[in-house]
Amino acid sequence: MRKQIFGVGLIGFGIAGRVFHAPLIQATPGLELLAVASSSAEKVHEALPGVEVLPRATELMSRPDIDLVVIASPNETHFTLGKAALVAGKHVVIDKPFTVSLSEAKLLKTEADKAERLLSIFHNRRWDSDFRTLQALIKAGTVGRPVALELRFDRFRPKVADRWREQQKPGSGIWYDLGAHLLDQARELFGMPRAILLDLMAARDDAQVDDDFHALLDYEEVRVTLRASSLVAEPTPQLALHGTRGSFVKYGRDPQENWLREGRTPTRDWGVDPRPGKLSVDEGDGEAISLTSREHPGLPGDYLAYYAGIVESLAEGTPPPVTVEEATEVMALLEAGLDSYRQDRWIRLKENNGNLRKLLHRRGA
């Protein structure tokens, strides 16, 4: 008889654990959050009454009723905790980025294969409303063949916070934080680029690590620009796609993160973004241009889809919603970007795998 409910242990109760993982785990049928390993017991008890708090991650991993360990601790701990959980016979989910180095990511894959346990990485921005809408437009060929895409993740946070992400620690800084999201989105759309060029900046007063980046990804048929900054007060387009038949531009971020921060529980209308994008398409006959512009509502965002996929993977043995191979490619891009910044040049990765051309060919474009 297949197991119906999988016990979950969560390591870490900072923003990632408290805002994202804990509420999503609790809202997912088939998962039961049994324990949290954290040094902030009062904070956990206040948010999760009835859930046991353990002072050490090793205690959580030793519990026989815990099937899945979710690691939402600082990036530099991902490898050691992930390895320990796999050795303990647990299935593992790790918050992005996978690890702090490509070599660590490959070693964890080896450990997961040896243990014959699930290992997946929480690249939740694949389930943002705007990104799901973008995927659908590209697949449908609505703007023709894509030639340029800009993905942005801007905020206005002029004050440097007292937290590990903004301190000189392995895996800190905006490139590893938000760059991991945007790189995963670009990789999901077009595969691995041929080359990457990255510029980093510590723009804020008293900044210890990078808080601004500008990256270019070179593909055979499309140029992708990735931007993120902590000093953007005026809204910029969340994404801008330009193709041979038109453009799609979207302002405003997917609402799910803010709703989770407010303590809202995912419901039937979860993830619906009230702010539509703008779609401008040439409806002409190929001779004369007839450009029409209209609002284009987005598909609903759905972070719950990630953990629903984890349950399916545990119960049925299907591939997880984010595979180790996919997350390892993101690690390769993060490291190649840093090489580009240090060497002040393009870093070539591989010949483009032709994903875009194959996609267009399959739909007859």
List, for residues 73-87, the tens digit of each pLDDT value: 999 999 999 999 999
Report pTM: 0.92
User: Is the predicted pLDDT of residue 1 greater than 60, yes or no?
Assistant: no
- Banded model confidence at residue 356, pLDDT cuts 50, 70, 90: very low
CATH number of 6-122: 3.40.50.720
CA distances from 238 to 26, 106, 121 (A): 30, 32, 24
Mean local confidence (pLDDT), 41-61: 95
**pLDDT, tens digit (0-9, with 9 covering 90-100), for 129-188:** 999 999 999 999 999 999 999 999 999 999 999 998 999 999 999 999 999 999 999 999
Categorize the per-residue pLDDT at 109 as very low, low, confident or very high, splitting at 50, 70 and 90.
very high
Going by C-alpha positions, the residue among 250, 248, 270, 243 that lies closest to residue 259 is 270
Contact 96, 327 (CB under 8 A): yes
C-alpha–C-alpha distance, residues 132 and 74, integer Å: 28
**Using an 8 Å Cβ cutoff, are 249 and 102 in contact?**
no
The count of C-alpha atoms lying within 13 angstroms of the C-alpha of 194, restricted to the half-sphere facing its C-beta, is 10
Return the H-helix or E-strand segment holding 91. Answer: strand 91-95
| Architecture of the domain spanning 125-301+331-362 | 2-Layer Sandwich (3.30)
Residue 62: both structure tokens together: 């030793």
Least confident of 80-84, 90-94, 160-164, 301-305: 160-164
* Nearest to 340, CA basis, from 150, 191, 194, 152: 194
| Virtual torsion, Cα 38, 41, 46, 48, nearest 10 deg | 50
Residue 352 pLDDT greater than 70, yes or no: no
Residue 363: pLDDT above 70?
Answer: no
Percent of the chain with pLDDT over 70: 95
**pLDDT band at residue 354 under the 50/70/90 scheme:** very low
Which token pair is 121? 């990485």
* Cα–Cα distances in angstroms (integers) from residue 213 to residues 66, 152, 177, 260, in the given order: 39, 10, 11, 26
Handedness of CA 82, 85, 90, 94 (dihedral sign): negative
* Mean pLDDT estimate for the chain: 93
- Residues 15-27 have a mean pLDDT of 96
CA atoms within 13 A on the CB side of 209: 18
pLDDT at 299 over 80: yes
Percent of the chain with pLDDT over 90: 88
Q: Answer yes or no: is pLDDT of 290 > 90.
A: no
230-283 pLDDT per residue, tens:
999 999 999 999 999 999 999 999 999 999 999 998 876 789 999 999 999 998
Cα distance between the two ends of the chain: 47
Q: Where do we find the tokens 């875009």?
A: 356
> What are 219-229's pLDDT values in tens digits?
999 999 999 99
Asked if the model's pLDDT at residue 285 lies above 60, the reply is yes
**Tokens (6 digits) for 228:** 């993120």
Cα 150 to Cα 226: distance, rounded to the nearest angstrom: 6
Domain boundaries in the chain? Answer: 6-122, 125-301+331-362
Q: What is the mean pLDDT of residues 117-124?
A: 98
The single-letter DSSP state of residue 343 is H
Model confidence at 2, in pLDDT bands (50, 70, 90)? low
Contacts 24+ apart (CB under 8 A), 165-170: 166/207, 166/208, 166/209, 166/211, 167/208, 167/209, 168/208, 168/209, 169/74, 169/75, 169/76, 170/75, 170/76, 170/100
The model's pLDDT over 181-211, given as tens digits with 9 standing for 90+, comes to 999 999 999 999 999 999 999 999 999 999 9
| Residues sharing a CB contact under 8 Å with residue 135, sequence separation 6 or more, in sequence order | 188, 189
Q: State how far the Cα of 323 lies from the Cα of 333, in Å rounded to an integer.
A: 16
